[in-house]
Structure 1
Amino acid sequence: MKNSLYLRLAITVTLTFVLLGYVFYWWSNSLAQHSQFQAEQRLHIELAEHLAQDNPLLQDGVYDKPALENLFHTLMLLGPAFEFYFLDPKGNILTYSAKPEKIKRKRVDLIPINQIIATPEQVPVFGDDPRHNTRTKIFSAAPVYQGETLQGYLYVIIGGEIYDSIYSAAKADQQLLRNIAWLGGSFVLLLLLLLALFRNFTSPIRLLVKDINAIRAANFDQSKVDINHWKKKTNISESNEVVQLGDNFYAMIEQINKQFQQLKHNDKIRRELLAHLSHDLRTPLSAMKGYVETLSIKNDELTANERQQYINTALRNVEQLKLLIDQIFELAHLEDGQVSVNNETFNIGELLHDIVAKFTITAQQKSVKLQLSPQYCERMVFSDIAKLERILTNLIENALRHTAQNGEITVQITKVNEKLKVSVVDTGSGIHQKDLAYIFDARYRASNAIGEKNKHAGLGLAISKRLSQILNSELSVYSELGKGSEFSLTLSAAQ
């Protein structure tokens, strides 16, 4: 099992505080040690000088090794925190207070000694520790002269080996222990506080992960999981990034469920549409098959006139089948949403004259009056001329199909505010009120449709509706049963 975000944060914070605690301890210890060295060296800065002046042997500059060894031994007994050495002018160790096997160096660097003699106020200054190959310690030093001649240096280590061991033990038992206890207590308290804060901060994330896993297990069905607690809160203190993420997650799940429902609805519509279209496709196919079979079986028995009549009927069914298939492909292409729009400025009156002229002969054959109102119009619109022509063609074809003999079809242009309304008004059979809500449905045909029912599949209005939406327009209908219908489309006037 992978570590949770809270566990990783807790481990990271713990390790960070351990590191910071160590750095703080090291820094405070170094600072305390530096202050201690500075104070002790300042306190004993003149120790070597006083010893050199007060001792007759050193005061006269006389070098007597046995006598100095005895002197240093006595001084060390009196002050066990100090170590005494006598150096020649080059820094070589001549006499010392320690046992011979304790001495690791034969020479002491004179640069720190000269520095502290010249500027005793600049402490701490560290010099070589004769008892260690690399270690340095604070010290006190004074030159020893014989007359005007430099005889050597009295070199006193402050806080010698014995002092270090005793001081370290005491420090570990007292002050250091209290400091560590105080630091450890503060560290634990702060760590617990931060862990509690992190747990509080990460709890919404854990809840979000839980909801995501639950909604996934439910196959993204929102009705099976209660995630209403992620609705946006009005409290500003609760509107942090995690809550906003949860709110977006809730909105996403809602959108996914809406799309699922829409897909199910669309799938149901497609199945119904396929069922209707299958029926409409079978009708001309069955009729065409019957006439072709009749021609094949009774070809010799038929007169030339009957044979031609059968052929013409079969051709009409072929044309109806081709029209239906073309409309199906056109509607599918529009539903894909991959249609480009080529808007341009043009004279709407000229387009309507051309469309009306295209249907004049068909209207005359049906004894229907087709007219344009007003007869002349110079208004300019900004739209896609090809798609607008397709919409108006479908509307006029639909009006001709539902208008009986001696009826009228009028294409009207009116101005509504800053837009132009183009209407196709007929005096046909009209549409029942219960059918108006479904008139633009691809699978629907009005129950009171009259005339040439076998020549259309009800897709013309569905195509026109989709085209009007692509043009950012609105195709509306008003109709009264037995009195006629009016289909209207609003267009944007050219600026």
Structure 2
Amino acid sequence: MNLSLYQKLALSIMVIFGIICALVYSWSKQLELTSQHHGEQNLHLQLAEHLVQDNPLIKEGVYDYKALENLFHTLMLLGPAFEFYFVDETGKILTYSAKPGKVKRSHINLDPLKQLIINPKSAPVYGDDPRNTQGKKIFSVAPVYNQKSLQGYLYVIIGGEAYDTSLNTIKNNDQLWLTALWLGAALVCLLIAMLILLRFFTNPIQRLARDVSKIEAANYSITDTKLSNYSTQKSNEVHSLGRSIQAMITRIDEQFKALEQSDKQRKELLTHLSHDLRTPLASLQGFLEVLNQSGAQLSAKEQREYLHVSLNNCDQLKQLIEQIFELAHLENGEISIHKETFNLGELIYDCIAKFSLTAEKKGLNLTVKPAICDFPVVADIAKLERVLSNLIDNAIRHTPKGGSIAVHVKHIDKAQLFVQVSDTGVGIKHDELNAIFNPHYQASNSNNEGRQQGGLGLAICKGLLKLMDSEINVQSELGKGTMFSFNLPQKIKV
């Protein structure tokens, strides 16, 4: 049988409620009966003693059992709630007033009688009911003497058979049934109120279960799934759990989308790389085929030109393949960083010298600001040289003849330096600034100067700087130039 959480809790509460009601009712009835017996026994405690003292027939010790039976009959007519018995010192019932067959016992246990005589405050004390072999009744008792010799006991049952019959008749009265009905109705209303409260408290759990089922049915996508709203009260654990689960599922959904986007980008990257590799490879193959088939018909100058172009294509292929491997190692976390302290100015001037000839041919002005930048920094010198070389190479390719390129070093604070590589080139559109660091992305106004570029340089720069706990930023204005900047620590952090 499949039951919901609310149904299980409701069923459990109903069972527990019923058991508790039964126990409380039984305990209250027992307490009521005990209190009633205590009061009645204390009220009639000296009844038997007064009868012994006031009745000459008993007081003088002359026991006419027939006369005593008539006396008992008269007393029972006056007080139907009482039954009178005379027992001897062994507990044998000698006389009483009752129809034949009504009295079931011939003897009674005298211990309760003696207990009440010795200690009247021990009430309620229960003695044997002569009319019921298993029954017990409260009683009043008094010893009967004849010249100081114990003859027996006057044993008076309080609340006898006639009293019980009358009481049972009253209990069957409509008014008592009406009272019991009202009591039952009150208990049912209380149970309904408890079930409503239980429904109120478990409803958020059911909503949460429905939300999770919806998300599971939607393959854990929350794009088209409407979720419930939960309050922000920290004291409500269920609502807090609902918010946490929604936040977790939102995070999972974001990660799924990021993975899908990453997979899409990888496919696009493979497509672009295939094209980038095919172009220089096809050019290389074409020139080599010409040299192979028509080598004797070509002049020495044409052969040198074809070989030069082929070597350039080989160099482009080599650089592109190296960039692909470097980016793959960065993404897989396979590149380690070896930090050391070195002079940043020396590294910058080394990179400037490497590109000085290219810049001179293009009529570009390469400068370092300040000219003397004797700044010790803590970084991986090889990785930083790779970053600076990529940024300067990009600046040269995108800066027209007569422009300028500057590497500027600034202080951020006592422990940080700010490195800027700026140019007066073509610039980058504002809506493309966030995309230029993606692998293989090339801005719409990029200038490759006849060379095939893989578009991986800035992605590699970003990855290398991230390994050195730095972040690259870009500012650009179309037609006026671009500036890349990143920070470097001047000393090892303690």
- Fold similarity call, TM over 0.5: yes
SS of 1:41's partner is helix
Tell me, in whole angstroms, the C-alpha distance in 1 between the residues paired with 2:296 and 2:61. 159
Q: Which moved more, 1:55-64 or 1:238-247?
A: 238-247
Corresponding residue number in structure 1 for 2:392: 396
The CA deviation at 1:103 is 5.2
SS of 1:230's partner is coil
Kindly indicate whether the alpha-carbon contact (under 8 Å) linking 1:355 and 1:393 is maintained by their aligned counterparts in 2. Answer: no
Specify the code of the residue in structure 2 equivalent to 1:137.
K
Specify the code of the residue in structure 2 equivalent to 1:415.
H
Kindly indicate whether the alpha-carbon contact (under 8 Å) linking 2:88 and 2:151 is maintained by their aligned counterparts in 1. Answer: yes
Corresponding residue number in structure 2 for 1:44: 44
SS of 1:189's partner is helix
Tell me, in whole angstroms, the C-alpha distance in 2 between the residues paired with 1:133 and 1:285. 117
**Pair 323,68 (structure 1): closer, same or farther in 2 beyond 3 Å:** farther
Structure 2: give runs of 5+ residues left out of the alignment: none
Corresponding residue number in structure 1 for 2:229: 230
SS of 1:141's partner is strand
SS of 2:115's partner is helix
Q: TM-score, normalised by structure 1?
A: 0.78
Q: 384, 387, 409: which is aligned to 1:413? A: 409
The CA deviation at 1:420 is 2.0
The CA deviation at 1:175 is 6.2
SS of 1:127's partner is strand
Corresponding residue number in structure 2 for 1:453: 451
Kindly indicate whether the alpha-carbon contact (under 8 Å) linking 1:341 and 1:384 is maintained by their aligned counterparts in 2. Answer: no
Aligned counterparts, 1:74-93, within 5 A: 75-93=75-93
Tell me, in whole angstroms, the C-alpha distance in 1 between the residues paired with 2:380 and 2:165. 99
Tell me, in whole angstroms, the C-alpha distance in 1 between the residues paired with 2:101 and 2:196. 59
Does 1:360 find its partner at 2:348?
Answer: no
Specify the code of the residue in structure 1 equivalent to 2:87.
L
Kindly indicate whether the alpha-carbon contact (under 8 Å) linking 2:345 and 2:375 is maintained by their aligned counterparts in 1. Answer: no
Structure 1: give runs of 5+ residues left out of the alignment: none
Tell me, in whole angstroms, the C-alpha distance in 1 between the residues paired with 2:307 and 2:90. 135
Q: 341, 345, 353: which is aligned to 1:346? A: 341
Corresponding residue number in structure 2 for 1:270: 266
The CA deviation at 1:310 is 7.5
Tell me, in whole angstroms, the C-alpha distance in 2 between the residues paired with 1:85 and 1:68. 10
Specify the code of the residue in structure 2 equivalent to 1:325.
I
Specify the code of the residue in structure 1 equivalent to 2:472.
E
Any idea what the Cα deviations from partners look like across 1:280-325, whole Å, max 9, x if unmatched? 0212332444466567767999999999997886666455334323
Corresponding residue number in structure 1 for 2:474: 476
Any idea what the Cα deviations from partners look like across 1:77-99, whole Å, max 9, x if unmatched? 55443333333334444445456
The CA deviation at 1:457 is 1.0
Corresponding residue number in structure 2 for 1:440: 437
Q: 486, 490, 495: which is aligned to 2:483? A: 486
Kindly indicate whether the alpha-carbon contact (under 8 Å) linking 1:475 and 1:490 is maintained by their aligned counterparts in 2. Answer: no
Any idea what the Cα deviations from partners look like across 1:245-264, whole Å, max 9, x if unmatched? 55556656655665555555
Q: CA RMSD in A?
A: 4.4
Kindly indicate whether the alpha-carbon contact (under 8 Å) linking 2:218 and 2:225 is maintained by their aligned counterparts in 1. Answer: yes
SS of 2:89's partner is coil
Kindly indicate whether the alpha-carbon contact (under 8 Å) linking 1:142 and 1:153 is maintained by their aligned counterparts in 2. Answer: yes
Any idea what the Cα deviations from partners look like across 1:392-421, whole Å, max 9, x if unmatched? 242234345556899865433112466421
**Pair 439,167 (structure 1): closer, same or farther in 2 beyond 3 Å:** closer
Aligned counterparts, 1:85-164, within 5 A: 85-97=85-97, 107-164=107-164
Kindly indicate whether the alpha-carbon contact (under 8 Å) linking 2:344 and 2:377 is maintained by their aligned counterparts in 1. Answer: no
Kindly indicate whether the alpha-carbon contact (under 8 Å) linking 2:345 and 2:372 is maintained by their aligned counterparts in 1. Answer: no
The CA deviation at 1:45 is 1.2
Specify the code of the residue in structure 1 equivalent to 2:229.
W
Corresponding residue number in structure 2 for 1:462: 459
**Pair 158,304 (structure 1): closer, same or farther in 2 beyond 3 Å:** farther
Q: 273, 279, 286: which is aligned to 2:275? A: 279
**Pair 9,436 (structure 1): closer, same or farther in 2 beyond 3 Å:** closer
Any idea what the Cα deviations from partners look like across 1:316-352, whole Å, max 9, x if unmatched? 645533432332343344446x5798696835xx144
Specify the code of the residue in structure 2 equivalent to 1:465.
K
Corresponding residue number in structure 1 for 2:167: 167
Specify the code of the residue in structure 2 equivalent to 1:145.
Y
**Pair 394,179 (structure 1): closer, same or farther in 2 beyond 3 Å:** same
Q: Which moved more, 1:200-209 or 1:267-276?
A: 200-209
Any idea what the Cα deviations from partners look like across 1:9-60, whole Å, max 9, x if unmatched? 4434433443333233223322321222122212221222123233445323
Kindly indicate whether the alpha-carbon contact (under 8 Å) linking 2:430 and 2:476 is maintained by their aligned counterparts in 1. Answer: no
Does 1:54 find its partner at 2:49?
Answer: no
Tell me, in whole angstroms, the C-alpha distance in 1 between the residues paired with 2:353 and 2:12. 85
Aligned counterparts, 1:208-227, within 5 A: 208-214=208-214, 216-219=216-219, 222=222, 224-227=224-227
Any idea what the Cα deviations from partners look like across 1:144-180, whole Å, max 9, x if unmatched? 1222222222222212233223322322326642441
**Pair 210,486 (structure 1): closer, same or farther in 2 beyond 3 Å:** closer
Kindly indicate whether the alpha-carbon contact (under 8 Å) linking 1:366 and 1:405 is maintained by their aligned counterparts in 2. Answer: no
Specify the code of the residue in structure 2 equivalent to 1:173.
N
SS of 1:440's partner is coil
The CA deviation at 1:445 is 3.0
**Matched-pair identity in %:** 45
